[in-house]
Each structure stands twice: as C-alpha cells, then as structure tokens.
Amino acid sequence: MKFNGFIAALLFVILLAWFLPEGPEVLPLKFITDIGIGFIFFFYGLKLSPAEFKAGFYNYRVHILIQLTTYIAFPLLVLAFIPFFEGGTGSSLWLALFFLGSLPSTVSSSIVMVSLARGNIPTAIFNASLSGLIGIIATPLWMSVFMASSSQFEFGAVVQKLVIQIILPLVTGLSLQKYLGNIARKNSKKISLFDKSVIVLIVYSSFSSAFASELFSTVGLVDLLKLTLMVTVLFFVVYFGLGVVSRWMNLSTEDEITAKFCGTKKSLVHGSVMVKVIFGNSAANALYLLPIMLYHILQLLVIAVFAEGYRKRLSTKTPEL
C-alpha cells in the first residue's frame, strides 16, 4: 500500500484544528474556500473529455446499475439504520450518514482502481463524470427530504448557492473546453493538487469551528465506533450486492469490476463542497464530514486490495505472448 498524502494532510489539519480551533486570523478562510469551490468545478468542466465520455456512452446497462446504486440504493440502505439513532431522522449523526449515502461517486480514484483491476475504463470514466454532474442536483434534493423544515436548510438559498458556486463555473468550464480543455487535461495532476488543497482548507475550517463550539463533546467513542461500523457494513453490502446483480445481468468480468468499483465509491471532494454549499459555515459541518471521511479511507484501502486481487487473477488467466 502506497503512502496517501491526501489522507495524511486531512488527519494533520484535523489535529491542527484541535490545537488551533480559532484558526489563523490572517487567513480569510471562508472567502478562499468559496472561491476555491468555484475553481474546482470550473476545472471539472474543462477536464471533461468529450471523446472519453462518448467512448463509454453506449454501455447503458452498467450505467443504469451504477447510477441507481449511487442515488437510490445507497440512500435507501441508510434508512435501515434509523432505529439505531435516538431521534430517528432528526438525529444529526443519522443525517450525516444519510448525507454520505446521497453523494456522487469519485472520479479519479474510481478510474485508477478500475484501471488497476483491468476493468472497463471508458465505462468508468463515463459513470464517474456523469455521477458528479447528477450529484449537483441529487444530493441537495435528497437532503431536502429530511431537512426541509430545518433552520440549517433553506432550499431556495441552497439553489442560489448551487447556481453561483457550482453550476455557473461548471458551465463556464464546459464552454471554454474547446480552447483550454487540452491544457487542463495535460495539467490534471496540478489541478488535482489544487482541488485537494481546497478540500484540506474546507476540512480545517469545518473542524476548527466544530472544536471551537465544542460540537464533538456530544459525540462519544461509542458514536464514533457505531458510525465506523455502519459505513463498513454499507460498503460491503453494496459491494457484494453489486457482484450478485452483475452476475444476474450476465455482465462481463470487466463490466462487473467497473460496476462494483464505481458503484461503491463516494466522493469526499463533492462531500466537502456540498457541506459548504448546503450548510455554509455552520459548526455542524465537521459532523456531516465525519462519515464521508471514514468511508473515504475505508474505500481506498479495501478497493485497492480488491483491485490488486483482480489484477493478479486476470494476469494468470491471460498468459503473456
């Protein structure tokens, strides 16, 4: 397993937020992260490759399976955990778990893992890109089902933020893709570093507010272990469930790999952005980020192991010429 600098940076800034909960006063974090979110989706629009997107378009059975899993199966499975939370759907911890279930799939890590496992890369690219686009609307809609009456969630204000911070930059990026798309794709590693830097700042800002308001004084070790167990159960139920459905649909091994790897992923990038868009600078943001951070670490570790297993298995079946 390779050292993951992104996870290490996230853990470091959480620790830093604990020691410096007020944050450095010289940095206007809200302004920086708001502008950063706009650039994340501007670059996202620039990097969407029409050729790669088109290459995976026709594998509709896999697309339907992955998107239904991401936006229907995941949220419905989280409903099964309601009895384990005092307060039911009004519990902040359950809402944080539901927020995880409503998020889109990742882009880069899905494609990397599918490639390592020798799955269907064009289909993975199409689904990861499509999932991110659908999530811009689907995630706030799902959250509005349980938070419409909450003072933390005002649907009109959320839509306004979505348009200004996400949709307009995304559309601008897509419109300029003809002129700047190739440059963006050639510099995708630098753009990815920028994206992750913005996410690290959002996580720091969220956790510093949470520690300053003593939010986590209400979250004990039992709650943390419960969340960890639930995100683990959620991951494996979806992963093995997708395997059963893939075989029932007679998908090829490559398509089954793609369905299982893309269908189980949840995006920490989109989660961090959506927290800011939906809840602003609320001290509760860190609580909503907690399940997705636990899930993100789990999915990277477990999928990496499964991907290596698929790669070795397929290598033995395909002798080198």
- Other beta carbons less than 10 A from residue 157's beta carbon: 12
As a whole number of angstroms, the distance between CA 119 and CA 123 comes to 9
As a whole number of angstroms, the distance between CA 126 and CA 49 comes to 10
CB–CB of 241/70 below 8 Å? no
Confidence of residue 149 (pLDDT cuts 50, 70, 90): low
pLDDT above 80: residue 27: no
- Single-letter amino acid, residue 298: L
Topology annotation, domain 11-17+29-312? Na+/H+ antiporter like fold (1.20.1530)
pLDDT above 60: residue 26: no
Confidence of residue 188 (pLDDT cuts 50, 70, 90): confident
Six-digit token string for 254: 């490559």
Residue-range domain boundaries for the chain: 11-17+29-312
Predicted pLDDT at 231: 94
Predicted pLDDT at 70: 95
pLDDT above 70: residue 3: no
As a whole number of angstroms, the distance between CA 71 and CA 13 comes to 30
Predicted pLDDT at 321: 36
Q: Which helix (H) or strand (E) holds 18?
A: helix 5-19
Nearest-CA neighbor of 114 among 238, 245, 260? 260
Highest mean predicted confidence (pLDDT) among 2-6, 207-211, 263-267, 295-299: 263-267
Confidence of residue 270 (pLDDT cuts 50, 70, 90): confident
DSSP 106: P
Predicted pLDDT at 83: 93
Predicted pLDDT at 133: 87
As a whole number of angstroms, the distance between CA 35 and CA 13 comes to 20
φ, ψ for residue 25, nearest 5 deg: -65, -20
Confidence of residue 159 (pLDDT cuts 50, 70, 90): confident
Predicted pLDDT at 1: 46
DSSP 282: -
Predicted pLDDT at 315: 66
Higher pLDDT, 155 or 285: 285
Higher pLDDT, 283 or 268: 268
Higher pLDDT, 239 or 16: 239
Comparing 27-31, 269-273, 298-302, which segment has the lowest mean pLDDT? 27-31
Predicted pLDDT at 24: 59
As a whole number of angstroms, the distance between CA 293 and CA 4 comes to 14
Predicted pLDDT at 319: 47
**Percent of all residues in the chain with a pLDDT value above 90, rounded to a whole number:** 27
Mean pLDDT, the chain, whole residue set = 84
Predicted pLDDT at 142: 92
Q: What is the pLDDT of residues 28-48, one digit of tens each?
A: 777 888 898 889 889 988 887
Nearest-CA neighbor of 268 among 248, 288, 252? 288
Six-digit token string for 27: 């940095």
CB–CB of 116/261 below 8 Å? no
Nearest-CA neighbor of 105 among 242, 285, 279? 242
Predicted pLDDT at 283: 65
Predicted pLDDT at 246: 95
Q: What is the pLDDT of residues 65-120, one digit of tens each?
A: 999 999 999 999 999 999 998 888 888 899 999 999 999 988 777 777 888 888 88
Predicted pLDDT at 122: 85
Instruction: Find all residues with CB under 8 Å of 100, minimum gap 6, and list them.
Output: 78, 231, 234, 266, 271, 291, 292, 295
